[in-house]
Each structure stands twice: as structure tokens, then as C-alpha cells.
Structure 1
Amino acid sequence: MAAVQQPPWSPPSDSLEPRTASIRVYNSLTRTKTPFYPIKDKRISWYACGPTVYDDAHLGHARNYVSQDIVRRILQDYFRFDVNFVMNITDVDDKIILAARQQHLLAEWLKKHKASQSQKSGTSNGVGPLVKQEVRQTTTEAIGAYTKKNLPLIPAETEPEKYEEEVQRRYGHVLSGKSVADDGKPAGDKEAKIKMHLTIARSATEAQSLSDPSLDEYIAKASGVLLPYIDSLYSSTVKGNDHDIFTTLTKQYEARFFDDLKALNVRYPDKLTRVTEYGPQIVDFVKRIQDNGFAYEHEGSVYYDINAWEAKGGYYARLEPWNRNDKELLADGEGALVAKNTSFKRSAADFALWKASKPGEPSWPSPWGEGRPGWHIECSAMASDILGKQFDIHSGGIDLAFPHHDNELAQSEAYWCEHGDAHVGHQWVNYFLHTGHLSISGAKMSKSLKNFTTIRQALSDGAWTPRGLRIVFLLGNWKDGLEITPEVVKAGLAWEERVNNFFLKIRDMQSRQPHINGNGTVPQKTEMDKRLDEAQAKFREALSDSFDTPTAMRTISELITTYNSTPDKQISNATSVAIATWITKMAHMFGLDSKQLPPPGQVGWSGIDIPEKAKPFILPLARLRDKVREQAIAGRLNLASLGRMEDVDTVFGANQPYANANADFQRTVVNLFKKAAAPKDYLAACDDVRDRVLWNLDIYLEDREHLPSLVRPLSSSLRQEKADREAIAAAKAAAKDQAKADSAAADREKLEKGKLSHLEMFKADKEFSECDEEGLPTKDAAGEPVAKSRAKKLRKDWERQKKLHEAFVAAGEAP
């Protein structure tokens, strides 16, 4: 079927009053920036496609949900809209059904074998010395079935001990980064899937080769092939109304998902909906679409009738009309709902609204028999139930645009249309916001490819911080794809460090001048005040332009750069605090701090202070160290003038490293004074406490001329600077050592040349038949006297060898 004309987009007809929108938003419905007109003036209704909860969320999900959170905060906290944010949880779909059922059936299968093994081994925990032969045999069958389905080039009957050999023979080129066809084309998702399947199959063969493993150890390696195989044997035993089998898994991962979002400082939805709690409403929704004439039933399943919809003036595939006939995308959208025999379909693109449940699938009662919802219908039913026949924003990842959101649009507008008339101007959703993909090294992360880093893994291993990740997302446009490269990471760190340093500078100024609060009035605006006004205007203009956060972030960075390059005497203290206060507010508005916005006069964000428990010890230590440095530089040390020392003999516990650092430094100073140490020894002690002791406590002392040292936490950039310095120093030392080694080798080689005595060097040469008492040739091989010119040259060689040999003898190398 040819693509139909794209319908025009128009602002909502029932908005309260005509007005010029100050905000323009990139709208996937128009594929352009359009004026933003909420239906109800300052109130925004928003539905976001939530997660499918059967595994931990990864960084690709973080990109979507953090970017949505940023836009939500801009609308709520910056433009002051009242946002009603609704999110769904997909807790029943093909992947969930399969994952939950597989895990349930494998667990049940293992229970039997653990019980049997416990009885045999006399243990109660199922961890016996041997894995039963029945388990090994089932695993062998599972490997064969898995290989046959997913790795067809490897013979299914391959023995475990020969499996790796076959892997290298059949798929070695894929493992080395080439395409499956080995035709010079770059590797893609197909090759990524093969690598994933190889990892799973290899792990299972490793399990087979383990010597006397416990059952748990064995299953940990073999589960990848056992899960689908056990499911293929016993899936029909699962009852459709036993929903707990499926929700046990989804409840676990739903909780973990929101734990991850909380860690990323993503706000909780105002309303959360779950598919499993909407069974009856979804049935009613499908029934109304059918009653309106836009759906038909086939063998207990109900399909959307695209031809009927378009015959009444409706549109299908409004978001991505060019994909409406893409069979691969359509099949992917249907998943397990796709019918094997599609000859009954009135249009190839018709999709399932309701599907008759197969054995082993969850089911709900319906007029068409026991069945389950189609993937797309869930969002239509839930969003319509909460937000009505028309709402402002629908959001999700760009991969949901077609067919998911296009199908949502078609079926929802078919549900809400009256008298069977698909009114062209009706819009179920006014603005679609689709976030771009996140990729690393050019590869999009995917649960199905298992090539992702989970959010909790990235945060726990220190690869990312919540703030650092959000900054990187802010530096990219929410609707564009974002690839994580070293340059992107570096840009994010640089932005954070610049703001950190600025906040530290202003806080330090406030600590030295406590009366500054930023609320004072300035009689006349200075140039820096004007720069602040310009930055605020540019910032607002950027966010009004489809939430252009890269420009907004750049505006903050440029304002700080201007501030730092302006002489202090040209900037009033009140202006300094005003700039820091505004940047503090904008950083919190973007969600860059999970702490509450500080009260007026207080600036910055969390993480720029050392721990509270450290302050009673480290701040006095810093003050003492400043005095010691000052006196050591001046060359005059006066212990009495340093102030009263604490009881330096006190030994603190290992859990009080800050107290220990303070006591140790005081003890060092006292001991140096007792020994009448030179000033350089005091300076060395000051350097040591800064560069080693406090550095190891994640605290940095920044020495400043004519100012007290600045006490601050270690930042990633400071660590990197030190690592870079150490790397350069190590490289120089290595080069010096290499040069020394090369010189020694050259000397040795030269010395070895002197091993042959000058007296013997020509005697064994067949070119000469006679030599004098010094060993110099006098006659050539034919008995003729050596020519004078040649004799002159031979003497030079002889003298050179004489020097080498004498050096050899002098070095004690002669026998």
C-alpha cells in the first residue's frame, strides 16, 4: 500500500485562549519545531512509555529517562508549568512472559535435582560433590538445541571438548570483528547476536568440562542454554491464570528500576500504571474499537483494520510513514503476537490488539476467549483512562516511534472517534517527544544483544556519577543520538570541574567575608552585572528553543570564564554571589544535585565540601600547615607562635583517619623543632601531608599566594592531572634508564671488540703469509711484500685494535 499524505498539525482547538507560544518544541508529529500550546494553559498532561521490567536497566535507558526528567524539570521548575506526569510499567509482554516462565520452570526443574542430590550426598543445601548424569545429559541436549537454532554453522552434535575448535573454524572471523559473510562489510547487530550466542554456548560447554562442580556452580554456567530448553519441554504446564509466576519477576525489576532512577535523581511519576492491573479496561478498549468498525476477530485474536481506518479519512503511520511497509519493523513490533499464517489479514500491516493466549502464556477473560493484550494497546488504554481523549505530550525512545507509537495513535483515535467517522483533524497526542539513542563505540546498547552496562554497575564501579552522567546528557540535545567517546567524557568532566572551582571560589570569598549574602543593592550595574543579565536572557532563549540544553550549558560555562578573566576589583562581592546564586538555581533545576536548593545566600552543590566528620580535624590542620609553610619560607620557625598544640601523644583509632592526620602532623612539627631541622625539612613535611596523607583521604589542599590554603575534596580532574604528571615522570625515568642501558650495552660491545689482541689480529688472516714481531703483515698471501699504502692503513687498524685491547685488559676482562 502506498504511503498516504501526512495530515496537518494544529495547536489544540480547546485551549483556553489564543496566544503566541514563547516555547517551541521539536514535535515528531510534524518533524519540525512547533509552538508549544498546552491544552489547559499552564497545565501539561504527559504520558511516558515506561520500562519493560524483566532485567536491570542499562545506560541506554538512563539516556531516555534522564533526558525526559530534564525536560520535565525545565517545564516544571523553569517555565513553571503544572505537569501531570504519567508513566506505565510494562509487566506483561513477550519478553517478560518468556523470561519469567523460563526462570520459573528452570527453578522448578532444579528443585527436583537439588532434592535428589541432597538425599544422595547427605547435604541440605543442594551443593553436592557431583552433578547427576541426567543433568549433564539434559545440558548436552540443550547445547545441541541452542546451537542448531542460533549457531547453525556449528554441527549440533559437536562434542564439548571439540566445541571451541568448531567455534574458531566456523565463526573465528566474526570473533575477530568481521561480518558473518566475511565480505569486508562492517559488523553490526547480526554479528553482535552471534557473539552473544557464542558466549552462552561456550559457557555451557565449560560447565560440561568442570571437574566435580557443585550443582549451583554448574548451573551458573549452563543456564543460558538450559533456560530455553527446559522451557521448550515444560512451558505448556504453566497455567494462564497463574499471574504470580510472571509478576514475581516484574515486581523485582520494577523495584530495581526505580532504585536506579532515584540514584540518577530522576523524579518519580505523578501516576504509575501497570498493564497487569488494566486487563478489564484493555478488553473494553479493544471492544470499542471493534464496535466502531476498525478491528476484526480471527480465531480468538483481534486485529486492527488499517484499511477501514483510512477509508474513513484516518491516517496510519503518521510519525514515520516511510516505515509503514517495513516487514522487519512490523514483525519486531508484533513479537510473539505475530501470526504464522497471515493470509487472513486484510492488510499486511494490520496488528494485534488482543491475542488468544497460547499454552504457558498469561491470560485474561474476554468476549473472544482467554487472551492477553497486544503490546501497543496497553499504552492506549492506560493513557486514555488517565488523561482522556487528548493530552499534551507523549514521550519515549526514538525506537518506539514506529510501530509502537504509530499504532497507539491509530488505535486510540479509532477508539475516540464518534459515529465511525475518523475526523482528520483529531489528535490524540499533540506533541511527541522522542529521545535519541545512546551508543558506545558506535554500538547501540540492547538487552536482547546483552551488550550493555547496567545503571547500577556503572555507578557502583565508579565509571560514572549521577551528576557526571546527567551533565553528558545535558551537553547533547535530548532528541539526537549520543555516542559516548573519550572526548564527550572529557567535555563533561571539564564542565563539572569549571563549575566546582567557581563555587569553591565564591564560598571561599564568603567564608573570609561572612557579611556577604548577595542581597545588597548595587548603585549602578557594572559590566559583570550586564554579562549576568545577558547570560540569563541567552539561557532562557535556549530553553525556549526546544529545550536546547547544550547552548544553556555553554552559557553557564562562558559566564564563568568571563568572571574568571575579569579582575577582582571590577566585580563587587554582591555581583559574585548573585552569579553563583543563579548558577546554583539552574544546576538544581537541571537535576544536577539531589539535595534541596540551598537557602538564599548559600551557593553551590553537594560534593564540593569535605566530609563533615573531617572538618574538626582537617580545617585546623590546614591552618597549622599554612603557618608552618609561611615561617619555613621566611626561614624563621617559632613553635610558640604556631599556637597551642593538641595532645600529640594521643593515638586515634583506625576509624578516625582525619584525627590521625592532624595528630601526626603536629607530632612531626614538634619533632622537627626538637631536632632544629632546616626550613626545607618543614616544607617537605608540609608537602607530604598535602600530597600523600590528605590525598589518600580524598582531600586536596590548594596552596594560594597571600591567601589561606583552600581545602577541597579531590576531583577526577585533579586525580587525572596527578596521574598524567606521574605518567610523564615515569616515561622520563624509563627513557633515562633505557639511555643508560643503551650506553652500557654500547660500552660492553666496544669492550668485547678489544678481546682480540692487536698482536694476533692479522696472523689468522689468509690474506697475509707473514707478519713482523708486532703482528703487522709484511707479505701478502702470494708472498709479495705488502704495499706501503696498504701497510699504512693496516697500521691504523692495528693501533685502533691496540687501544681497544688495552681497555679490555684494563677492565680486567683478559684471562
Structure 2
Amino acid sequence: MAARTQPPWQAPPSRPDLDLPPLHVYNSLTRSKVPFVPIDGKKVSWYACGPTVYDDAHLGHARNYVSTDIIRRIMRDYFKYDVRFVMNITDVDDKIILRGRQQHLLSQYTSEHPELNNEVQETAAEAFAAYVKKNLPLLPQGLKPAEFAEQSKKAYGHVLEGKAVEGDGPPGDKEAKVKMHLKTASSAAEALTLAGANKIDVTDFYTKAEDVFLPHLDSLYGGTINADDHSIFTKLTQKFENRFMEDVRALNCLDPDVVTRVTEYGHQIVSFVEKVVKNGYGYVTADGSVYFDIQAFEKDGNNYARLEPWNRNDKDLLADGEGALTNKSTKKRSDADFALWKSSKPGEPAWPSPWGPGRPGWHIECSAMASDVLGQKMDIHSGGVDLAFPHHDNELAQSEAFWSECRHDKQTHQWVNYFLHMGHLSISGSKMSKSLKNFTTIRDALSRGDWTPRGLRIVFLLGGWKDPVEITEGLVATGAGWEDKINNFFLKIKDLERNPSPENAASAEEDSALAAAFATAQTDVDRALCDSFDTPTAMQVISRLVTDYNSAATRASLSDATALSIGLWVTKMVTIFGLDSEASTPNPNRIGWSGIDIPSAAAPFVYPAAALRDAVRDAAKSGPQALSREAVDALLASQPAPSTTQPADALPYAEAFTQFRADVAALAAASAPPASFLALCDKLRDEVLWALGIYLEDRDTQALPALVRPLSADLIAARAQKDAQAAAKAEAKAKREREEAEKKRLLAEKAKVSHLDMFRTEEYSEWDEEGLPTKDKEGVELPKSRTKKLRKEWERQRKLHEEWKAGKME
């Protein structure tokens, strides 16, 4: 082939015939922001690298898929692009093969060895020794399990204290991996120690020692399994694919339009590899593997490693890209050449190919599947930033090698126009990773209440999609504050819908100022989203607009139309960002998001009860005359009692309303004072409705009706804190009262003693007629200074005793 020069990136032609938004996106291919111009008008073709399904998805995955979903929603619902979103499921690769095989062997072993006998313990000890030797080289050889804790502290204490394995640098992934190995070995050591003392059952033993058993059994028997039985691997992947989809749906991520699976693309992948070889960019090795020829590719004028050229010689990344099961003895033309097709060794699944039984290389799967669904060119390819090299760089090379005959304007084919890479999520400086086992799964985080789907998404929105996110207390607090602010805003606007302001109550000046702030916010959000989906700025703008609303004059000074328009727009934006689990697309007539409405069964009774309570409170504040029997009857008539028959889910709310009406009537009949009516109103708010999950937020300073809202975690926490403070205050008061009572008791006991007898003790030998000492116990006359001091004490006791005798003391 004749040599040709490949531009680093070919900008798509502009489309003046289309009304495209002025959107610029950060493109990893150019490492800069460039105009976004789709290939086909307003249609956007998008391929996203999906999960490798051998374990549950963790919060690091959530970072990738939620951020991707946010951009997808903005493209679809804000910029109105017709997005076709394709995602793959990697259900065969080295990690899956290894994990599936290991789990199969462990299951087989445990079923054949159901008792914790000597053979099992010996095998576990061998597995422990092999694991320590391979992964913890600083520990002494032949280490006994009982000595592990002590020896590991000596060898790796600096790592456990947060220091680097070597040098003085900060800890990172290397140190996280050491901690993982220490934890695994420690668990196995504990299991072996307990087994030696007969203090563990077989189930717990296998659980604690599992992670050392897996590689050991695989080294012994991995090559013996029937690799033609693909169910050994697919039963693992099908389980975790289903769990992955459940997890991302729980995070309110949209389903892909198309899902592709590697195991369903065996024939297409073989055909893809054949064409790459035919085009001169691949070669077959003696073992039946096929490799991409980087030298031939670049000799022909192409650029390899366009995304991260600085990493093209990184041996660790290259090795990771090839996989743990790759045949290291294969005769490759260059160490950097990567596998398109791997010959299958014993214990590995295989598919037929012209080169013999084998399986796809990691990178080829995405090229073949994306090309099959989206064709020779796509708009967007996305994934986590750790995939940029070697995975995406290798995808680019082999795909452009495949499509090399499809050139446009005599230029080399450009397979992807825009690469979007999502930033890492990290904790304590180390990214979350399945291999490091330093992760919290999505389902665990949600089930424990560590995060809510909305709270997690807000945190990602507050950070740039391509920037790393470090989980800190400050970040969590910022996200929670933003959510609480918007939540309260929606509650106010929803209340305005139910309770419109009086006509002609708006102040033109205040209303005009808020309308101007609203217009500015819309412009600023548009500018931010056009600037490579700058959601942090957009979130700040939304927060600022809500502040402007809250800081404006009282609601009566603003027109309902302006406030409702703002409410509708904020609702639209949070829905576009995926923060409303009840709306997959914006509803132009809906205000608010999920979680701010009380149950539908409660509404017919709680809102009338709240209105009646407001009226009773106002009357009580006006004085007794407003609480006459006739006046109260008129109030009750304004909110008629519910019928006696109600659906089961509505019954508790109906009963609460009915009982409140009855209690109000009873107080009126008894001519109760206003304080009794106010106490009853507080009881409805603080006890009755609170127990039903509803709170009435009184707004006396604004002369507004009570705000009806469902209980939230913040409200519950605030109540718990308030109750704790009240309990602490009550206990402090009780303590003071106990101490005061004790003082009085002791004083009363002291008062019973006569002043005439108080000094008649062994400390003195003579006294005068008033009982005052004159000589000490040795017969020495007391000095005048001492006598003067004793006289003062005597006078105080005389007064105290006489008060007691007179009955003036308890």
C-alpha cells in the first residue's frame, strides 16, 4: 500500500442548513473543546463501553454510567438530538474466564469435600502459602498462619499506616493492592488458625479462605474443565449482567437503545479479524493467535495511540490490555502488538475460526459490535478514562484498519468523531477497582442508605464529567445542601399551586427583578451546557436563581405567574439531569420531583386537616371570643368530615382528620382556653401526622398556611437532634434539682444540731456556758483568733438551728 498521511482529527463539516446548537465538547481525540456536528443532521450515533460482568457494579462504575446518562439526557432532552445509544456487555474476557472457572472449581471442590477434615485444611494451607509467596514477598517463606498477624505488621506496617510501599510518596493503587492481599491472607490465616483449634465450621472456613482457594485450585485443575461447556462461564455473566441492569436502573439511568454481547458476536468478530489481516494490518502466530501489526499500520501513514501517545510504551498498561491469560511465549513481532484473536488453551472457552479454536481479544469485541450496529463511522464513543489506553486506542487502530478502504475525500478513514472519557471516582486517593477490592457496590450503598440515587447523581453533576471526583465529607455536604435547597423550593411552588395569591397583590418592581434574574439564569445555563456539558456551572446557576426567589419580597409581592414559570423551568432542568425518578422526560406541566408529594391516599384528608388547623390556630391567637361554640362550628363546617367508608390505605389519614375535628369540637364545648386549642394543633403536627410520615411546617412570620410535606431524612434527623437536646436539657435540670434537694437535706440534717452542742467533741477539753471551746484536747487555752473564728461558726449554727426549731425549714 502507498504511504499516506493521517490527520490527527478531521473536524466534521459544518451544517449551515441545520439549526444546530452552538455546542462544543471536550474531545479526547484533540484534547480540546471542539464544535459538535453530527454526521447525519440531528441524529447522533453513540457507542458506550459497558461493563465486564463478573462481579457487582460499584460506585466507580456508577460514576461512569451516571455521568454518561447525564450527557445523554442533555443531548436528547435539552439539545433535542435524536440519540441512538448502543452499549456492549463484555461477557467473555480473561477476568470472566478466570473468575468463572475458579468459581466452578471451588463449587466442585466444596461439594466433594463437605467436611472440614485434614485434607481440606492441608489444601487450604498450601493455598495460603502460595498466595503469600506470590503477592506478599516481604513476608518470610514458610510463614505459619498463626504468625501472620505479627509478621505482616513487621513487614507491611508502613503500608497499613498509610505510607507508600517504597519511598516517601503518597499511597496509591499499589498500596491499595497490598492492603487487599493482606486482608485476603489475614482472613485465610484466621480460618486455618480457628480450624486448628476446632473453633470454626466448614461453611465459615470456606468463606474466609475462599480468595486463597480460588487461584490455588485453578493452578491445580484449571486446565481440566470442559471448556466446550460455555455455561460454566455464562451462568456467572448472566447473573451479573442482570444485577448490573438492576443497579443502573436504580440510579435512574436510561436503558440503552441497543445492547450487544460478545458471546453473540463470535462469527462477526472472526470476519472482522479476517478483514484486518487481509488489509495487511494483522498476522497469525504459530499457536493460532492473531495480532495487530502496529508497525505496518504506522508505516502506511496511520497514527497509533492517538488518545494517549505518552502511554504507548507503558509495559504495565500493555500487559493489562492483553489480559492475565495471554500466552506470554507467543512470538509477536513487537511487544506493543495486541491480540485480535487468542488461541484457546485448556480450560478456556473456544469458538471456531480459520486459525483454530480461539476467542476474541479484549479490544476487538467493541470494534466489531459497534461497526455492526453503527456502521463505518460514529459520532460518539465513550467510557471511563482508564479505557483510553490501551483499549480505545487499540479499538481506533483496528477499526480504522478494518475500514481503511472506506476513505472520504481521499483522507484516511476516521472511525470515531468524538471520544468522551468519564473521570474516576476515588476514595483516599485510590480509584475504585474490582481488582483492588476497595469498592462499595451500588446495591450495598443504596440499601444501607449511604447514598440515594438522587444524592449520588447530584454529586456527579457538581463535578465535571471528565474530571476526577474525590468522595469527601465536604462534597457530600455540598450535594445534600443543594438537594435540600431545591426540595424546599419545590415545596413552596407546589404550595403556591394549591393556594394562589390574592389578585393584584404583586409588586411590579419585585416581580420585574425576579423575572430578569430568571431570564439571566436561562441564558447562563444554556451557555454552560453548550460549553461541553458544564453541569457544575449549571447547578450553581439554578441554586442562585432559587436564592433570588427566596430573597425576593414575600410571596404576596410576586406574581404567581413568575414564580410558577421558574418552578416549571427548574423542574425541567432537574428532569433533564435525571434527578426525578418519576419522569423519564420533562413534562411541561409538572412542578417538582419525586419525594415532595404526600401519598395520594393522604391528600383528600391531610390538606383539609391542615387548612382547619390553620384556621383554629389563627382563631386561638385572636383570643377566646374567636373560639366560641358558634365560631368553631363555622370553622368545622368549612372542612366537612370525611365519609365513614374509605379505602384501606386512606383510612389512617381519614381517622386523623376525623379525630382532630372531634377534639376541636370538644374543646369548644368545654369553653377551653386558647392554649388548649394551640396544644391540640401542635399534637396534630408533632405526633399524629408525624407518625403517618407527614409534617406541617408552620410559617407564622409570613402569614402563610402551613406547608404540607412528607417526612424527609433531614426532618427526622432534625427532630432526633432536637429531642436529644431536649432530653439533655431535661436531664441537666433534673440533675440540678437532685443536687439542690440533696443540699437542702444535708442543711436540714445540720440544722438539727444545737449550737450549744456543736463543738462538744474530742477536739476540745473545756467549754464555756454557751458551748464554745476554751481549751484544746491537750488542755492548752485557745488563742483569741481561734476563739473569734469559732464564735462566727457558732452564730451561724445558732441561727440555722433556731429556724429549724421554729419550723421554717423543711
Write the mapping of 1:363-512 to structure 2, written as runs, cut at 5 A: 363-418=350-405, 425-512=412-499
The correspondence for 2:713, drawn from 705, 711, 716, is 716
Cα distance between partner residues in 2 of 1:671 and 1:14: 77
Task: Give a deviation string over 1:23-54, Cα, whole Å, max 9, x none.
Answer: 11111111111111111121111111000011
Give the aligned residue type for 1:91. Answer: D
The correspondence for 2:137, drawn from 144, 152, 161, is 152
8 Å contact kept, 1:46–1:84: yes
8 Å contact kept, 1:758–1:805: no
Secondary structure (helix, strand or coil) at the match of 2:284 reads strand
Pair 1:643 & 2:636 matched: yes
8 Å contact kept, 1:759–1:776: no
8 Å contact kept, 1:337–1:355: no
Distance 1:647 1:195, change over 3 A: same
The correspondence for 1:201, drawn from 161, 181, 185, is 185
Cα distance between partner residues in 2 of 1:674 and 1:162: 81
Alignment-derived partner of residue 355 in structure 1: 342
Secondary structure (helix, strand or coil) at the match of 2:323 reads helix
Alignment-derived partner of residue 629 in structure 1: 617
Q: Which of 350-359 and 136-145 deviates more?
A: 136-145
Give the aligned residue type for 1:580. Answer: G
Give the aligned residue type for 1:496. Answer: E
Give the aligned residue type for 2:132. Answer: T
Pair 1:685 & 2:685 matched: no
Alignment-derived partner of residue 291 in structure 1: 278
Cα distance between partner residues in 2 of 1:515 and 1:676: 34
Distance 1:598 1:98, change over 3 A: closer
Please tell me the root mean square deviation across aligned C-alpha atoms, in Å: 4.3
Q: Which of 36-45 and 283-292 deviates more?
A: 283-292
> What's the CA shift for 1:612?
1.4
> What's the CA shift for 1:533?
2.3
Cα distance between partner residues in 2 of 1:293 and 1:745: 99
Give the aligned residue type for 1:148. Answer: K
Task: Give a deviation string over 1:491-522, Cα, whole Å, max 9, x none.
Answer: 22222222222222222222124999xxxxx9
Q: Provide structure 2 residue ranges, at least 5 long, that are not aligned to the other structure.
A: 748-757, 765-772, 805-810
Cα distance between partner residues in 2 of 1:184 and 1:792: 76
Distance 1:186 1:793, change over 3 A: farther
Cα distance between partner residues in 2 of 1:289 and 1:748: 100
Cα distance between partner residues in 1 of 2:721 and 2:659: 29
Distance 1:719 1:525, change over 3 A: closer
Secondary structure (helix, strand or coil) at the match of 1:375 reads coil
Pair 1:305 & 2:306 matched: no
Give the aligned residue type for 1:141. Answer: E
Q: Which of 426-435 and 506-515 deviates more?
A: 506-515
Pair 1:189 & 2:182 matched: no
> What's the CA shift for 1:738?
8.6
Write the mapping of 1:209-288 to structure 2, written as runs, cut at 5 A: 209=194, 211=198, 215-288=202-275
> What's the CA shift for 1:101?
1.0
8 Å contact kept, 1:15–1:38: no
Pair 1:92 & 2:92 matched: yes
Pair 1:533 & 2:528 matched: no
Distance 1:651 1:378, change over 3 A: closer
Cα distance between partner residues in 1 of 2:236 and 2:170: 37
Alignment-derived partner of residue 324 in structure 1: 312
Q: Which of 732-741 and 440-449 deviates more?
A: 732-741
8 Å contact kept, 1:413–1:422: no
Cα distance between partner residues in 1 of 2:796 and 2:94: 85
Distance 1:228 1:792, change over 3 A: farther
Alignment-derived partner of residue 545 in structure 2: 559
Cα distance between partner residues in 2 of 1:620 and 1:311: 80
Give the aligned residue type for 2:538. Answer: A
Secondary structure (helix, strand or coil) at the match of 1:53 reads coil
Secondary structure (helix, strand or coil) at the match of 1:430 reads strand
Distance 1:75 1:422, change over 3 A: closer
Cα distance between partner residues in 2 of 1:334 and 1:542: 40
8 Å contact kept, 2:14–2:37: no
> What's the CA shift for 1:102?
1.1
8 Å contact kept, 2:281–2:296: yes
> What's the CA shift for 1:716?
3.4
Task: Give a deviation string over 1:603-641, Cα, whole Å, max 9, x none.
Answer: 222211111122244334323433433333334364534
Pair 1:698 & 2:683 matched: no
> What's the CA shift for 1:251?
0.9
Cα distance between partner residues in 2 of 1:462 and 1:492: 15
Distance 1:351 1:653, change over 3 A: closer
8 Å contact kept, 1:59–1:453: yes
Give the aligned residue type for 2:551. Answer: S
8 Å contact kept, 2:605–2:642: no
Alignment-derived partner of residue 127 in structure 2: 142
8 Å contact kept, 1:60–1:445: yes
Alignment-derived partner of residue 78 in structure 1: 78
Give the aligned residue type for 1:137. Answer: E
Write the mapping of 1:750-765 to structure 2, written as runs, cut at 5 A: none
8 Å contact kept, 1:648–1:664: no
Secondary structure (helix, strand or coil) at the match of 1:361 reads coil
Cα distance between partner residues in 2 of 1:809 and 1:32: 94
Give the aligned residue type for 2:601. Answer: K
The TM-score, its normalising length taken from structure 2, stands at 0.84
Give the aligned residue type for 1:715. Answer: S
> What's the CA shift for 1:666?
4.9
> What's the CA shift for 1:136?
3.0
The TM-score, its normalising length taken from structure 1, stands at 0.83
Give the aligned residue type for 1:621. Answer: A
Give the aligned residue type for 2:680. Answer: A
Cα distance between partner residues in 2 of 1:20 and 1:668: 64
Task: Give a deviation string over 1:670-729, Cα, whole Å, max 9, x none.
Answer: 665676654323323322332233333331101133333221112333334434545555
Alignment-derived partner of residue 50 in structure 1: 50
> What's the CA shift for 1:429?
1.0
Distance 1:406 1:621, change over 3 A: same
Q: Which of 701-710 and 172-181 deviates more?
A: 172-181
> What's the CA shift for 1:357?
1.5
Give the aligned residue type for 1:687. Answer: D
Distance 1:414 1:337, change over 3 A: farther
Secondary structure (helix, strand or coil) at the match of 2:64 reads helix
Cα distance between partner residues in 1 of 2:255 and 2:709: 33
Alignment-derived partner of residue 519 in structure 1: none
Secondary structure (helix, strand or coil) at the match of 1:703 reads strand
8 Å contact kept, 1:593–1:605: yes
Q: Which of 311-320 and 708-717 deviates more?
A: 708-717
Q: Provide structure 1 residue ranges, at least 5 long, that are not aligned to the other structure.
A: 115-129, 517-521, 751-756, 764-771, 780-784
Task: Give a deviation string over 1:112-152, Cα, whole Å, max 9, x none.
Answer: 334xxxxxxxxxxxxxxx63443333223322222222233
Secondary structure (helix, strand or coil) at the match of 1:332 reads helix
Secondary structure (helix, strand or coil) at the match of 2:113 reads helix
Number of paired residues? 769
Cα distance between partner residues in 1 of 2:682 and 2:494: 25
